[in-house]
Amino acid sequence: MQDLKAQLQFLGTGTSQGVPIIACNCPVCQSSDARDKRLRSSALVSYAGLNILIDAGPDFRQQMLSAKVEHLDAILLTHNHKDHTGGLDDVRALNYVDRKAIKIYCEEGVLKTLKQEYSYAFEEFKYPGAPEWQIFLIENKEFYLSLEKEEGDLVWVHDKGYFYQMPDGSLRQTMSKQIISAYDESILPQKSNDRVLIQTIRGYHDKMPVLGYRFGNIAYITDMSSIPEEEFAKLQGLEHLSLNTVGYKKHHSHFSLDEALSIADKVAAKHTWLTHLSHAFPSYDSFAEELKALCLERNIASEVAPAYDGLIIR
pLDDT digits 0-9 by tens, 154-211? 887 877 777 888 888 888 777 656 899 999 988 888 777 889 999 999 999 999 999 9
Band (pLDDT 50/70/90 cuts) for residue 96 is confident
Q: What is the pLDDT of residue 151?
A: 67
Taking residue 193's Cβ as centre, other Cβ atoms within 10 Å add up to: 9
The arithmetic mean of pLDDT across residues 212-228, rounded, is 98
Parallel, antiparallel or unpaired: strands 195-205 and 143-146: antiparallel
The arithmetic mean of pLDDT across residues 233-259, rounded, is 97
Length of the chain in residues, anyone? 314
Parallel, antiparallel or unpaired: strands 171-173 and 161-165: antiparallel
Tell me the HSE value of 151 on the side-chain side, using a 13 A CA sphere. 8
CA–CA distance, 120 with 169 (Å, rounded to integer): 28
Q: What is the residue-averaged pLDDT of the chain?
A: 93
Q: Please name the helix (run of DSSP H) or strand (run of DSSP E) that holds residue 294, with its range, or none.
A: helix 284-298
CA–CA distance, 52 with 34 (Å, rounded to integer): 25
Q: What is the pLDDT of residue 177?
A: 60
pLDDT digits 0-9 by tens, 102-153? 999 999 999 999 999 999 999 877 777 789 999 999 999 999 998 877 767 8
CA–CA distance, 39 with 63 (Å, rounded to integer): 8
Q: What is the pLDDT of residue 175?
A: 62
Whether 226 has a pLDDT exceeding 90, the answer reads yes
Give CA torsion, residues 215, 220, 224, 229, to 10 deg: 50
- Grouping H, G, I as helix, E, B as strand and the rest as coil, residue 86 is coil
Parallel, antiparallel or unpaired: strands 271-275 and 303-306: parallel
Strand partners, 130: none
Parallel, antiparallel or unpaired: strands 218-220 and 208-215: antiparallel
pLDDT digits 0-9 by tens, 258-311? 999 999 999 999 999 999 999 999 999 999 999 999 999 999 999 999 999 999
Judged on CB neighbours under 10 Å (0-12, 13-18, 19+), 207 is: exposed
Instruction: Please state the pTM of the whole predicted model.
Output: 0.95
pLDDT digits 0-9 by tens, 33-75? 999 999 999 999 999 999 999 999 999 999 999 999 999 999 9
Return all residues near 180 (Cβ < 8 A) that are at least 6 apart: 134, 135, 136, 137, 187
Buried b (16+ CB within 10 A) or exposed e, 119-145: eebbeeebeeebbbbbbbbbebebbbb
CA distances from 201 to 108, 242, 243 (A): 16, 12, 12
Q: Helices 257-267 & 284-298, crossing angle to 10 degrees?
A: 60
Provide, rounded to the nearest whole percent, the portion of the chain with pLDDT above 70. 98
Whether 245 has a pLDDT exceeding 80, the answer reads yes
Whether 2 has a pLDDT exceeding 50, the answer reads no
